[in-house]
Amino acid sequence: MIIRNAKVFREDGTFVRRDVYIAGDRFVDSPEGEVIDGSGCYAIPGLVDVHFHGCVGYDFCDGTPEAISAMASYEAKSGVTAICPATMTYPEDKLATICETAKSYEAGAGEAALVGINMEGPFISMAKKGAQNGAFLHQPDTAMFRRLQAASGGLVKLLDIAPEEPGAFETISDLKDEVTISIAHTAADYETACEAFHRGARHVTHLYNAMPPFSHRAPGVIGAAFDAPHCHVELITDGVHIHPSVVRATFQLFGDDRVVLISDSMMATGLPDGEYSLGGQAVTVTGNRATLHDGTIAGSATNLLDCLRTAVHKMGVPLGSAVKAATVNPAKSIGIYGAYGSIDAGKFANLVLLGSDLHLEKVILRGEILN
């Protein structure tokens, strides 16, 4: 397959008009096969969402192959070709079932690849639990994580920890070489967060949400993340979670090499407004706003491509920076950049063609035209 005349994304955030070659399920250096005219389009890598919970009526924590398949199909059709869905806070036995189901899942035709699991709970703070279920919180526990990792067959790529919780520093030190540690749902101050980064944490979950604010005398987790150059920070650009000015400032503060766009989507994504659930708690969805009945924001109802469009069209983020934050950076953050996240020979041939206004023209998934 040859894609001609498109403006092709490069890792540095620029675009160049060139041909893209695909053979089988990989990008290659030599032309062969049918020709697709990409005139007037941007060619970008398939998006990588490292933090979402569900869509089209399903949740990753349903713990069934049917749920993963339905989610993976919707995501692929939406331009998200690699997924690392997130758990909610549940008891160990339920989390183990979710992990075992994920371990046995194999992507079918038209389904995004399941490249990891984001374990968002249960090692988080009651004070900043957000929409997580406080009844099942657990102190950070190395042995418990390793049992769940074994159940997943090594699929857990992100582990969320509130560093102020008892045992957190020890757990971070124990696991820093086994999984990407993300600071999350935390009341930690600047000094505590700095120590977590020093011990090996290198990621922050949905920056600004479920953590103390960034202020001039108490910079908190956000300031500590800025001072940890090895750290990636997640950003939800659905237009609900973060003000556009703060999104622009974050890209300026951290640079577009460190920001990871996420959707944090829940099961209502792709469906009409109504009543849904997240982590066993009732959620009301109106437009792209999802809230618990007490008003707490409960994930989003927006897929990652829509978040990318919102970042560009409504928040003033340069297109190249937004694409980098939805492809290159998330792939690097969970250690899969060798196979995903860019249009380079040898990687899986996942490519999205966007029109000049960023509408979706075509998805190529592992070398096959999806739509």
pLDDT digits (tens, 9 = 90+) for 90-105: 999 999 999 999 999 9
Write down the pLDDT at residue 283: 87
Write down the pLDDT at residue 125: 97
H or E element, residue 234? strand 232-236
Q: Of 29, 264, 273, 294, which one is the catalytic site residue?
A: 264
Radius of gyration of the chain (CA): 19
pLDDT at 299 over 80: no
At the topology level of CATH, where does 47-339 sit?
Answer: TIM Barrel (3.20.20)
Confidence (pTM):
0.95
- CATH 2.30.40.10 placement within the chain: 1-45+341-371
Annotated catalytic residue 29: no
Instruction: Using pLDDT thresholds of 50, 70 and 90, give the confidence band for residue 278.
Output: confident
H or E element, residue 203? strand 203-204
pLDDT at 279 over 80: no
Instruction: Using pLDDT thresholds of 50, 70 and 90, give the confidence band for residue 371.
Output: confident
- CATH 3.20.20.140 placement within the chain: 47-339
At 247, list the tokens: 């999104």
At the topology level of CATH, where does 1-45+341-371 sit?
Answer: Urease, subunit C; domain 1 (2.30.40)
Instruction: Give Cβ neighbours of residue 191 (< 8 Å, ≥ 6 apart).
Output: none
Q: Which of 339, 332, 333 lies closest to 180, judged by CA? A: 333
At 280, list the tokens: 């066993």
Q: How far apart are CA 212 and CA 231, in angstroms?
A: 18
Q: How far apart are CA 159 and CA 50, in angstroms?
A: 11
At 109, list the tokens: 């035709």
